[in-house]
Amino acid sequence: MLARPWVGEALGMTISLDELVAKALRRGAPTRDEALALLTDELDVLDVVAAAGRVRRHFFGRRVKLNTIINVRSGLCPEDCSYCSQRLGSTSDILTYSWISPVEAAEAADRAAQAGAKRICLVASGRGPGQRDIGRVAEMIEAIRARQPGVEICACLGLLKPGQADRLREAGVDAYSHNLNTNETRYADICSTHAFADRVDTVRQATGAGLSPCSGAIFGMGESDEDVVDMAFQLRELDPDSVPINFLIPMQGTPLEADWHLTPVRCLRILALFRFCFPDVEVRLAGGREIHLRSLQPLALQVANSIFLGDYLTSEGQPGADDRQMIADAGFTIEGTDEQTLPQARHDLVAIRRRGVGTDQPANA
């Protein structure tokens, strides 16, 4: 039994971590009150992490999946997302360049794979891809597969138009990443050039095309506990296969450059909440972990089963050698390319379409 399995006075109810774990092992989600309790001081953070760790180990053992980002086009984005150094009007002193070549992408992917990365994330700035851009991505994938045929390829290209997700799948993309970033109520506070519904639509298009959906959030933008819980529940409605948890990197030259509100304990609580909300889903420790979790990064591995290796889009990450050492020191192992990430039960939920348009079989409508 956990040392402190309950909390009650502040919320007017009793919250049992043992019961939350049992529910998560059945793939059930916490209630709203239970989720809120995980973010408060009424439950000791070590007890919360230990409980979330039981769920993590049940579904993912002691494996850590490594992912890497390749920024294939950087800066000069027409969107005005307040958190982003590539945004319209940003004065951040970042690298800006147009599309890199397939050879450069393949070389970067090769280095990452040799360092242990299982998934390569091709990320491009901009509102969304044009048809020519999808062709560019297809050429990059072909070059990457020639060197590293076993890696997963994830694309993150912005808002998708109808039919583009199908083209990406045909080009060899395995997954599509498009974060919701914050909850629907707050979305207009961080971006005015597109809406929350646009992001939801893109994730659904990717899922409908047979791409593995990857969608998460950014925390540290002034959200309340209620906002964090709203975000988790809204993401659950999309049923993603992977959920990146980013902690705001307050880049100079952006509207949120002074927003240094997070503490390591707050980050751990958010990660634990998402593990309970997504018990059998890849919860990825993403951007900002180094500067906000600091010395508690190894503790976060007790909750998250996936991390980004190396640098981010416009800021540098922890050296890969340090990440690999951290994983080993914490008693975890790096997940191999031949190992299945998601539990079999989740894989069984996905059926590749073999009927309807493009086949000689009738649709199921």
Spatial contact of 314 and 86, defined as CB atoms under 8 Å apart: yes
Cα 3 to Cα 43, 46, 47, 146, 150, distances in angstroms: 11, 10, 7, 52, 44
**Closest-CA residue to 219 (of 185, 269, 254):** 269
Q: Is 284 marked as binding a ligand?
A: yes
Give me the pLDDT at residue 275, please: 98
Low-confidence ranges of the chain (pLDDT < 70): 1-13, 345-360, 362-365
Angle at 240 between CA 191 and CA 137, to 5 degrees: 70
Interior angle at CA 337, CA 331 and CA 339, nearest 5 = 65
3-class state of residue 250 by DSSP:
coil
Residue partners of 67: CB distance under 8 A and separation at least 6:
117, 118, 119, 120, 121, 154, 284, 306, 307, 308, 309
d(CA 245, CA 259): 17
Q: Residue 364: how many CB atoms within 10 A of its CB?
A: 7
Q: Which helix (H) or strand (E) holds 176?
A: strand 175-177
pLDDT number for residue 8? 42
Distance CA 150, CA 157 (A): 22
Flag whether 154 is marked binding: yes
Q: Can you read off the two tokens belonging to residue 363? A: 């649709």
Q: List the structure tokens of 206.
A: 């990717």
Is the separation of the CB atoms in 276 and 29 below 8 Å? yes
Give the span between the Cα atoms of 137 and 173, in whole angstroms.
9
77 is in an annotated binding site: yes
84 labeled binding residue:
yes
What number of other Cβ atoms are within 10 A of residue 95's Cβ? 11
Amino acid identity of residue 336, one-letter, is G
- Closest CA relative to residue 40, chosen from 254, 272, 319: 272
Burial-class residue 352 by CB neighbours within 10 Å (0-12, 13-18, 19+): exposed
Contact 110, 148 (CB under 8 A): yes
**Sign of dihedral through CA atoms 20, 3, 271, 345?**
negative
Structure tokens that stand for 67 in this block = 């992912």
Give the three-class secondary structure for 181.
Answer: strand
Q: Is 267 annotated as a binding residue?
A: no
Asked if residue 57 belongs to a known ligand binding site, the reply is no
Domains of the chain, CATH where assigned: 57-336 (3.20.20.70)
Tens digits of residue pLDDT in 316-343: 999 999 999 999 999 999 999 889 998 8
* Nearest residue to 331 (alpha-carbon basis) of 62, 135, 20: 62
Residue 365 has a pLDDT of 43
Q: For residue 207, give the amino acid letter.
A: T
Nearest residue to 242 (alpha-carbon basis) of 272, 212, 217: 212
Strand duo 217-219 + 242-247: pairing: parallel
Q: How wide is the angle at C-alpha 131 spanned by C-alphas 126 and 132, nearest 5°?
A: 85
